[in-house]
Amino acid sequence: MPRVVLLSAALVAVLGLAACDAAPGLPAEGRRPSVSAFALSPTADSLATDAPTVVVPLVIDATLVGEGRIAVRALVRYAETDTLVADTLVAAQPGPVRITLPVTLPRGATGDYAVTLTTEGADGRTGDGASAVFRFRAASLGPPVVSGVSAAASVTRPTGTRATPFPITAAVTDPDGRANVAAVLLTDDTGAILGQLFDEGRDGRTSTDAAADDGTYSAALQIPSNAEVGTYEFAVVAIDRAGQQSAPVPFTFEVR
């Protein structure tokens, strides 16, 4: 008959405590890093000259909490497009840390920039971070200019159910740089907005744009089979980030 062994309460308690220990061979988790203080300088800057770019020496002061080496990354993103503008990675110990991050900005890229600090402990675990906003302004050098519009003189309306694309391109410049162009719009003869032209290349929002960021904005009207035959007058107008508008450049084409 099998022998029954009764364990004392004290022994059970000892065994229970032993079971709570970390498994042999596994590293103990360190304290997850965090940021207890965070300050950004400057928080705003303005470009008053006609220089095409400005270099802003952003300085981040933070206090880190954790154990051992902490990987600290500072990132600057243009809030309007969520584009990464600058970043840097430093190794630091718990306590005060200062990060200097020069950021080069084109004068036309005015607006808010998100400045973010992230942390990672020596064991690879992500810690807490902090963020602030940097605001950039620049004196306007003038409104954008639509220097030319290109489109076919006529288009034949389709006979089937599929619309015929009608490509339109426009060359746009801005004295503050292309980054200052907020929108390029297609309007009818009453000024009503019909759509938008883009300078994003073929991977952007229109397949008719040949190359991104070359100052040539493109779109394609869709001509359906029930389009009225006749001559149409449209125009292209550009607007900058300050709300200034170019002179509209009209063009006509015929639907046959």
pLDDT at 30: 62
Beta carbons of 42 and 56 less than 8 angstroms apart: yes
- Tokens representing 183 are 């929108």
pLDDT at 208: 85
- Tell me the per-residue pLDDT of 90-116, one tens digit each, with 9 for 90 and over: 999 999 999 999 999 999 999 999 999
- Tokens representing 42 are 């400057």
Average pLDDT over residues 242-249: 95
1, pLDDT greater than 80? no
- Tokens representing 232 are 């149409």
- Could you tell me which of 122, 112, 102 has the C-alpha nearest to residue 60? 102
Beta carbons of 208 and 219 less than 8 angstroms apart: yes
pLDDT at 31: 80
pLDDT at 126: 95
Could you give the 3-state DSSP secondary structure of residue 12?
helix
Q: How far is CA 243 from CA 114, 205, 209, 218, 221, in A?
A: 23, 23, 24, 21, 26
As a whole-number percent, the residues of the chain with pLDDT over 90 amount to 78
Q: How far is CA 66 from CA 22, 100, 246, in A?
A: 21, 22, 55
Question: Which of 21-25, 104-108, 154-158, 222-226 shows the lowest per-residue confidence on average (mean pLDDT)?
Answer: 21-25
Could you give the 3-state DSSP secondary structure of residue 82?
coil
* Distance, CA of 172 to CA of 149 (rounded, Å): 9
pLDDT at 11: 34
161, pLDDT greater than 70? yes
pLDDT at 3: 41
pLDDT at 29: 56
Rg of the chain's alpha carbons, rounded to an integer? 30
Mean pLDDT of the chain: 88
**pLDDT bracket for residue 204 (50, 70, 90):** confident
Q: Can you spell out the DSSP letters for 127-166?
A: ---EEEEEEEEE------EEEEEEE-SEEPPPSSSSPEEE
**pLDDT bracket for residue 236 (50, 70, 90):** very high
